[in-house]
Structure 1
Amino acid sequence: MANADTQTFSAIPVLPLSHALDAATKPHFLEHLRHALLNVGFLYLSETGLPEQLIRDVIEECQGFFVKLPLEEKERIDMKNEKSFLGWSRLDNETTAFNPDHREQLDLSTPHLVPGPEAPLYHNLLAPNQWPSTQYLPKFRPVYEDYMRRMSDISTLFTSLIAEAIGLQPDAFTKFFDANQQHKLKIVKYPEVEVPDLAPNASEMDRKKWEIKRQGVGPHKDSMLTSYLLQASNQLGLQAQNAKGEWIDCKPIASTLVVAIGQGMEALTDGVCASTTHRVLSPRKGEGARYSVPFFQGVSYDAQFEAMDVPSEVLRLRDEARKARKDDVEFTFVKGRWGHLGEATLMNRVKSHPDVGERWYPELLKQIRAQQAAVAAS
């Protein structure tokens, strides 16, 4: 952990993606991207090329899902129905950092067929979506299928830019993707919570209790390569943690995506790309519900753990940057623990959604609970 005098980020950088597509501005873009990768692990991506009308439709359909769908329709597409962890999750159903996340959500992915009986267990994550009925939301499916297709292209482009920014060939990460790579997306609603102001002289214990009451999503790092968050309402809530332990607001900026570097990217780049701890605080009474649409770039579940051959001069920059990083969240991709990325991903999903684990993966859930009990007892 860095000491209190460490220089660390106090704001989230904004990078225009269009600058990466112009030979005149690309070197400057890559320089700023490298700095963000090494020292922040979070950034805003502006000028993405996403049509403004599509962004408006994505936001409208997101909010419509939570407002227009009756409970029985949501229960019809409940996540517990399938082994894939795709579907609807009711309020407080997912856990992060051992506490419930006060949010309701729908998990979707790019289209895949149900795997065959001989496939590895983690291939259960590949499956068709559970879509809400067109009776209630006739535009929902085409809007989100279009958005996921476009975001797949953006994430592939951005990953190639990450490679270039740290001295690798643009196609350096290609071997970690399937030909028909699965990517995932959530639509999320964070309802208001009634929580009083935290007293200026509050104890550490009182502060922790206050944070748990406001937990939209607890402190965590995203697991895969990169994620892209469309903030679909204007409330504050998303925060990234710097090396001093300070929580930096990622305020909504119109027509931008908030990019978070995942643990998979940190592992594959031998720690060059920083995966930063972040959280979401629920809106307080009177602020209105907060909505968001995160897109998670996937990676082949069959991929093996290995680090890239990052140039030595970049590794030296990494070593310096590590002095200004804060790492107190469990790392998903510990080398030697898993043979494939899919195994780690499946265990992570069972941990986050124990109700799905109880129904479909009881042995894995038993292992997780035994590990958690051992940690608690130590």
Structure 2
Amino acid sequence: MSFSSIPILDLSLARSPETKPQLLADLRHALLEVGFLYIENTGIPPDLVAEVIRLGKAFFDLPEEKKLEVEMKNAKSFLGYNKLGMEITRFKTDWREQIDLSTPHPIPGPNDPLYRNLLAPNLWPDPNALPRFREVYEEYMARMGDMSMEFTSLIAEAIGLPSDAFAQFFDEAQQHKLKIVKYPDLEELGVEGEAQGVGPHKDSMLTSYLLQASHHRGLQVQNAEGQWVDCPPIDGTFVVAIGQGMEALTQGVCQSTTHRVQSPARGTGARFSIPFFQGVSYDATFESMDVPASVKKLRSDILERRGGVRLDDIEFTFIKGAWSRLGEATLMNRIKSHPDVGERWYPEQLKKIREDQAEEAAKFAAKEAASSQTTASSVPAQPQAIQAH
């Protein structure tokens, strides 16, 4: 049987040799069985978190012209503001408004690989319009970066690896990214029924850390039986998602899990969330690590118990051999998710993506049509592969 709730781990237990073994055991269970978890007592100051939430919401209250001063399509880096409905997941529009930020980096040189355009300075909103925004978010990203590195070390220990096992995949000045997201409710969208805040996907790198910045439900995680499990806001926690990169590196031991966000119900107001994405070196080649056989057997036993099937499974973004560097795959994924940026800065790559998408969309439509004709007694079809972002 697959999971029906999301586990909560107390990171303060890692600070004592008496309680750390139990934490690592609980973490190993979450990694192998779920791929999603809450963490609490992370060391991130609550006052800082409160300011991050306040200023994040305040950004969306700025006049439209002020937000458009930092519009994403103004830069090659895919950093900046995205208007409502400008991102696509699984061939459908994501009904969210957002700004993407990253830890600071200079503009790349003219002879650098194209994917190094992803390393660039932020497009910060006008400090006169939003005082302290930059200061608060730079501190928050720095602290979250440190915390994510510590948590990755715990992941390594939980699956029988040295605590520094993942260090080889990080740059000395590693870039991490963050989004501030507003999901309007159905009334504001003018939509009846349901709408996609963000479609089913898996995160692409190693780990991500979601701060649910309002009381709304909406985040759902798909278990191995294909059922959607709610992941409601819990004060004082972050939601950790294991990324496709982590699953690839650990030879499938650490499970990356499909998740989605549904738009808030009519009249409930906008949902806000602030996900932080731990970065990985864009020069990495994603060679897998030597996970102990005993841990790999734990994972294979789980799959065998489920009949060898994962109904949440989707295609890895970073298939070994498909790309020479992680940065190449990441850049193509960003172009796919943000075609307006692609049209302005990466027209050749976007043309190739659209050709591939047309073929993929035709296959997807045929599969959806076939699935709709399946009787209720039939085995459910495995979900279509999608691109994480």
**Same fold, TM-score > 0.5, yes or no:** yes
In structure 2, the partner of 1:261 is 242
Which residue among 132, 135, 159 is the counterpart of 2:125?
132
Aligned CA-pair RMSD: 1.4
Cα 1:364–1:213 change in 2 (3 A) is farther
Q: Contact 1:109 / 1:185 at 8 angstroms: preserved in 2?
A: yes
> What residue is the counterpart of 2:214 in the other structure?
233
Q: Secondary structure of the residue that 1:293 maps to in structure 2?
A: strand
Question: Which residue of structure 1 aligns with residue 258 of structure 2?
Answer: 277
Q: Which of 345, 354, 357 is the matching residue for 2:339?
A: 354
- From 133, 154, 159, the equivalent of 1:161 is 154
Alignment-derived partner of residue 227 in structure 2: 246
Q: Secondary structure at the match of 1:8?
A: coil
Residue by residue over 1:232-288, the C-alpha shift from the partner in whole angstroms, topping out at 9 and shown as x without a partner, is: 000001010001211111110001000000001111111111000000001011111
* Maintained 8 Å contact 2:91/2:361: no
1:377, distance to aligned residue in structure 2 (A): 3.7
Q: 1:188 aligns with which of 177, 181, 188?
A: 181
SS of the residue 2:232 aligns to: coil
- Asked if 1 retains the 8 angstrom alpha-carbon contact of 2:56 and 2:180, the reply is yes
Secondary structure, counterpart of 1:29 in structure 2:
helix
| TM value normalised by structure 1 | 0.92
1:112 aligns with 2:93: no
Does residue 1:145 correspond to 2:138, yes or no? yes
Alignment partners' CA distance in 2, 1:30 and 1:364 = 43
Q: What TM-score results when the alignment is normalised by the length of structure 2?
A: 0.90
Aligned to 1:43: 37
Q: Deviations over 1:195-223 (max 9, x none)?
A: 9xxxxxxxxxxxxxx99942000000000
Q: Which residue of 2 aligns with 1:59?
A: 53
**Structure 2 matches for 1:61-76, cutoff 5 A?**
61-67=55-61, 69-76=62-69
Matched, 1:343 2:336: no
Structure 2 equivalent of residue 90 of structure 1 = 83
In structure 2, what is the Cα distance between the partners aligned to 1:115 and 1:237?
38
Task: Give the Cα separation in 2 of the matches to 1:273 and 1:171.
Answer: 16
Query: 1:326: Cα distance to partner?
Result: 2.9
Match of 2:18 in 1: 24
Cα pair 2:186 2:267 within 8 Å, conserved: no
Partner of 2:256, secondary structure, is coil
Match for residue 376 of structure 1?
361
* Superposed structure 1 runs of 4+ greater than 3 Å apart: 210-213, 322-325
CA distance in 1, matches of 2:323, 2:269: 42
Question: Which residue is 1:220 aligned to?
Answer: 201
- Asked if the contact 1:99/1:212 (under 8 Å) is kept, the reply is no
Amino acid at match of 1:30: L
Name 2:73's counterpart in structure 1. Answer: 80
Q: Any unmatched runs of 5+ in structure 1?
A: 1-6, 196-209
Matched, 1:364 2:357: no
Q: Which residue of 1 aligns with 2:380?
A: none
Taking only the aligned residue pairs, the percentage that are identical comes to 65
Say whether the 8 Å CA contact 1:39–1:324 is kept in structure 2.
no
Aligned to 2:383: none
TM-fit CA distance, 1:329: 2.7
Change (3 A) 1:324 1:212: farther
In the alignment, the residues of structure 1 paired with residue 116 and residue 105 of structure 2 have an alpha-carbon distance, to the nearest angstrom, of 10
Query: How many angstroms apart in 1 are the aligned matches of 2:287 and 2:65?
Result: 45
Aligned to 1:294: 275
Residues 306 and 89 (structure 1 numbering): CA distance in 2 closer, same or farther, change over 3 Å? same
Could you tell me which residue of structure 2 aligns to residue 199 of structure 1? none
Mapped partners of 2:155, 2:138: distance in 1: 26
Corresponding letter in the other structure for 1:47: N
The more displaced of 81-90 and 354-363 is 354-363
Higher relative contact order (CA 8 A, sep 6+): 1
Any unmatched runs of 5+ in structure 2? 364-389
Q: For 2:186, what is the secondary structure of its paired residue?
A: coil
